[in-house]
Amino acid sequence: MEAAVRTACIPPKRDARCSVAKTLKHGGVSLPWLDQSQPRAESTLSMSRLPVMSSKRVLTNSSGSENGQDMAPAQKRIRKDPESAKPQAASTVVGGRRPPALATRAPLSKPVRSVGAATVAVGPSRGVLKSSTAAAKGGNVKQPVASTAPKTVTGGGGNTRRLPWDLKGKVSDMEGKIRNYQTKFKSVNQENEDLKGSMVQTQSKVGALQKELESQRNQISEYEEELQVLAGVRDELEKVSSERSTLQREFSNLEGKYKVMETLRDSQETELQTLKMKLSVQESTLTRVQANLRDREEEVRCLKETVAQQKDELHGGEMERRRLHNTIQELKGNIRVFCRVRPLLTGGLTKHIQLPACDNKLITLAKTEESHTGKTADTQKNYNFNFDRVFGPGTSQQEVFEEISLLVQSALDGYNVCCFAYGQTGSGKTYTMEGDEFDDARGVIPRAVQQIFKAAEKLGAQGWEFAFTASFVEIYNETLRDLLYTGKANKRPEHEIRKSTNNEVTITNLTYEKVANEDQVHGLIALANQNRSTAQTAQNDRSSRSHSVFQLDIEGVNTGRDIKCKSTLCLVDLAGSERMMKSQSQGERFKEMTAINGSLSNLGIVIAALANKESYVPYRNSKLTYLLQGCLGGNSKTLMFVNIAPETDSFGETLNSLRFASKVNDCVIGTASANRK
């Protein structure tokens, strides 16, 4: 019933406000909260209810939710900017648009009718509603409703209305309402003050909270910094941890190695012990050996003394050998002649000639002479020649060399030695001097060279050192030609024989090749043969018409005994000695034969002059004698091979050669003396 009365007394908000305003204007009563000229009162009213409504209700409607979370942002906005919230609320009310909105939104929360007359004043705020309700409960709201009951008319819907004429009643109602509103206004003001107070408190709390928040933020930033530091520390720790694990792995590896090393050390210690034992055994052995060694050293010292004595004796023996050797050579004569008969090459013997009878030193050349008259029998004429040695046709190269090897030995003892082969063309001069390349057929030159180097090596043990220089020269038509020349043919130099102040004969521009062994000499002989064959191609059979002279200069030094020796081994293959008449030479050949015969007859003249001890020896009459001057003089040992051919048609030349050789053989060229210092 009371609710019904309250509902009847409360008009729709807008209508009621307008009707009250009209009534008051008409009645001359001034209501400050309705007057447009009193914005302060309305503003105050608005502040008391609208901010709450606008913040809470609007948020509720817009989101459709009333929970605290949705409200929180709005509340925060109000707290942050409370001043800005006031005009908003005020403008909402002043614009006069808020009430319809409230009326429209009212059904979303609670039915308007349940609020009763307090709906306009309270609005949707629960706090205000509670206050209004509390005010109503206080009895202020209910008062004007019951006093005019007799003068009200109840409509079909149950509402009570005053009769139109009951103005007093209406005024009374309005006054009741005014009182009611004033009471509400007061309570709202009070509530507003309370809210202000609480807002100030809240603001101070907010400030405190902000400070606290700031300090919290600072602390957070400190914590963050600390966190960063700690993150760094954590990284460091992680690094250290990984390093630690690496170190642990290395450590475990090292442990493994250490164990292996320990095992190795143990085995080596064992080995060391064994070695120590062996060492002690060895040391005792060494002591014994050292004692033995001292004994042996003493023995060696004694032996060395003996060796030295024996060396002295050997040297004395060597000197004695040389002296005796020289004596023998002197007894044999310083110029000796060997005759060698070449074997028959082609045909057999004719009935008119016999092979020369050879008997060591005798050769008999026999010739059967036919009786021209026919009355007497054919007569045989023998030509006997004595030489130092006669080699028959069957004599080997080795046998021939054995006879002259003593002479070759003299070259190492410091004597000049000259060996030359004389004879007609084809009699075997080259065969005797050079021979064939096969071992058995090797001639005097290769065998002499071999002997020289072997003997030099043996003498090396007695302190001798030898140096050898080889040269090979050809004399053709009284012209010298270097057989060891290796340059261009058109640039061959000319050569002259020179004699130094110490009577040494040299040839200008000649190749003097230092040789140290037998093979090198063989190489030079091969080169000389090549040079001779080249010349021979240009001029047929030239070698037969030229003299070839191989010279080996020997220098020996015995430093220990301060002895030096110097000598020349001269080996000569003479040109063919056939007579000019037989050859019936003409032109170039005549010139050749003239040169050959001139040099060969001059050789005979020189030998004869030496034999006769003539004051003048015509060495310079031919290149051959000039070149061989050192080897033909008093300080030399000379050997002449006279080579003869056994054929019938060579009889005359053979006889001629034997006669020439016989003259040489009769010469006694004085006593040779060794060239020693």
Binding site for ligand ATP (CB under 6 A): 342-343, 345, 423, 425-431, 543-544, 576, 643
Tell me the two tokens of residue 264: 């190795």
Indicate the angle between helix axes 126-137 and 39-52, nearest 10 degrees: 110
| 3-class DSSP string for 174-212 | HHHHHHHHHHHHHHHHHHHHHHHHHHHHHHHHHHHHHHH
In this complex, which beta carbon is closest to ligand ATP, that of residue 426 or of residue 556? 426
In the complex, what is the shortest distance from the CB of residue 482 to ligand ATP, in angstroms, rounded to a whole number?
Answer: 20
What's the rounded Cα separation, in Å, for the pair 315 and 301? Answer: 21
| 3-class DSSP string for 76-93 | HHHHHCHHHHHHHHHHHH
In the complex, what is the shortest distance from the CB of residue 433 to ligand ATP, in angstroms, rounded to a whole number?
Answer: 8
Query: Given phi > 0 = left and psi -120 to 50 = alpha, else beta, which region is 597?
Result: alpha
Beta bridge partners of 676: 565
In the complex, what is the shortest distance from the CB of residue 454 to ligand ATP, in angstroms, rounded to a whole number?
Answer: 25
In this complex, which beta carbon is closest to ligand ATP, that of residue 405 or of residue 544? 544
| Residue 423: strand, helix, or coil | strand
What's the rounded Cα separation, in Å, for the pair 283 and 406? Answer: 58
In this complex, which beta carbon is closest to ligand ATP, that of residue 102 or of residue 433? 433
For residue 620, give the nearest of 632, 634, 635 by alpha carbon. 632
Query: Given phi > 0 = left and psi -120 to 50 = alpha, else beta, which region is 426?
Result: left
Cα 92 to chain centroid distance, Å, stands at 97
For residue 335, give the nearest of 422, 443, 239, 452 by alpha carbon. 422
CA–CA–CA angle 621, 624, 628 (5° rounding): 105
What's the rounded Cα separation, in Å, for the pair 112 and 105? Answer: 10
Give the position of tokens 């008449």: 581
Helices (H), ranges, 333-436: 397-412, 429-433
CB 664 within 8 Å of CB 607: yes
Beta bridge partners of 481: 474
For residue 429, give the nearest of 545, 594, 585, 553 by alpha carbon. 545
In this complex, which beta carbon is closest to ligand ATP, that of residue 82 or of residue 604? 604
CA–CA–CA angle 609, 611, 615 (5° rounding): 45
In the complex, what is the shortest distance from the CB of residue 432 to ligand ATP, in angstroms, rounded to a whole number?
Answer: 7
What's the rounded Cα separation, in Å, for the pair 641 and 422? Answer: 6
In this complex, which beta carbon is closest to ligand ATP, that of residue 551 or of residue 650? 650
What's the rounded Cα separation, in Å, for the pair 151 and 644? Answer: 204
Query: Given phi > 0 = left and psi -120 to 50 = alpha, else beta, which region is 123?
Result: left
In this complex, which beta carbon is closest to ligand ATP, that of residue 152 or of residue 643? 643
CB 79 within 8 Å of CB 202: yes
What's the rounded Cα separation, in Å, for the pair 191 and 184? Answer: 10
In this complex, which beta carbon is closest to ligand ATP, that of residue 325 or of residue 589? 589
In the complex, what is the shortest distance from the CB of residue 662 to ligand ATP, in angstroms, rounded to a whole number?
Answer: 19
Q: Residues comprising the binding site?
A: 423-430
Going from the C-alpha of 429 to that of each of 106, 297, 408, 424, 563, the distances in angstroms are 164, 59, 18, 8, 37
In the complex, what is the shortest distance from the CB of residue 466 to ligand ATP, in angstroms, rounded to a whole number?
Answer: 31
In this complex, which beta carbon is closest to ligand ATP, that of residue 428 or of residue 630? 428
Q: Which residue is nearest to ligand ATP (CB)?
A: 428
In the complex, what is the shortest distance from the CB of residue 345 to ligand ATP, in angstroms, rounded to a whole number?
Answer: 6
In this complex, which beta carbon is closest to ligand ATP, that of residue 176 or of residue 576? 576
Tell me the two tokens of residue 275: 């070695």
In the complex, what is the shortest distance from the CB of residue 456 to ligand ATP, in angstroms, rounded to a whole number?
Answer: 29
In this complex, which beta carbon is closest to ligand ATP, that of residue 124 or of residue 576? 576
In the complex, what is the shortest distance from the CB of residue 559 to ligand ATP, in angstroms, rounded to a whole number?
Answer: 43
In this complex, which beta carbon is closest to ligand ATP, that of residue 124 or of residue 428? 428
Q: Residues comprising the binding site for ATP?
A: 423-430
In the complex, what is the shortest distance from the CB of residue 591 to ligand ATP, in angstroms, rounded to a whole number?
Answer: 17
In this complex, which beta carbon is closest to ligand ATP, that of residue 410 or of residue 425? 425
